[in-house]
Copies of this chain bind each other. A is one copy, B any other.
């Protein structure tokens, strides 16, 4: 908080600058966005913007960390529930990833577009791979426990499953009912389209 007061100007704390930056990066691409563009969007001069943020890459790092920290925390919470079965953990992981994606939509959208052109992007891609690896491990554990089908490759399954989740960044709107969406995604992932009654 003290940093906000010290570095911010009225109407522009660190968080609001970050929100605007993420929105700009998503709209026109990170590479195509300059600090001048960001200053203009915030109604600041180009030199005043440096009171708020040291660099464009610093903003990118914070945005990507936001998405990655939230996804990692969600998986940590799932893992920490020792009473859950592997199937329940996988269900929770699918559900949580929908909730994190919806709750941090701009940051997750930015993360999913990262191609690894800068050091910050390379670091983010490495963290994404770590998350993919943890998700694939959860699929494998549920298959090993006999809870889910074991006739498909765990890595392929987790890619398809979380590819479905991630594709929501294409159309999700702030007014979407997230709990209901999370239920639908989990039901489709585990039970598929067919009726089983």
**Interface residue SS majority, chain A:** helix
Q: How far is the CA of A196 from the CA of B160 in the complex (A)?
A: 20
Q: How many A residues, CB 8 Å from partner? A: 38
* A32-B31, A159-B171, A160-B164 known; A192+B195 contact, CB < 8 A: no
Q: Which residues of B contact A139 (CB under 8 A)?
A: 193
A29 within 8 A of B: yes
Complex: A31 Cα to B195 Cα, angstroms: 46
- Docked Cα-Cα span, A62 to B156, in Å, equals 32
Rounded to whole angstroms, the CA-CA distance of A170 and B142 in the bound complex is 25
Q: Interface with B: A17-25, A46-54, A183-191, which one?
A: A183-191
Number of copies of this protein chain within its complex: 2
A176's nearest neighbour on chain B, judged by CB, is B156
Q: Are B160 and A184 in contact (CB under 8 A)?
A: yes
Closest-CB distance, A169 to chain B (whole angstroms): 9
Known: A157-B193, A167-B167, A190-B193. 20 other contacts (CB 8 A): A32-B32, A142-B193, A146-B195, A147-B195, A148-B195, A152-B184, A153-B184, A159-B167, A159-B168, A159-B171, A160-B185, A163-B167, A163-B168, A188-B189, A189-B192, A190-B192, A190-B194, A192-B192, A192-B194, A196-B196
10 example contacts (A-B, Cβ-Cβ < 8 A) are as follows A146-B195, A157-B193, A160-B168, A160-B185, A163-B163, A163-B164, A164-B167, A166-B167, A190-B193, A196-B196
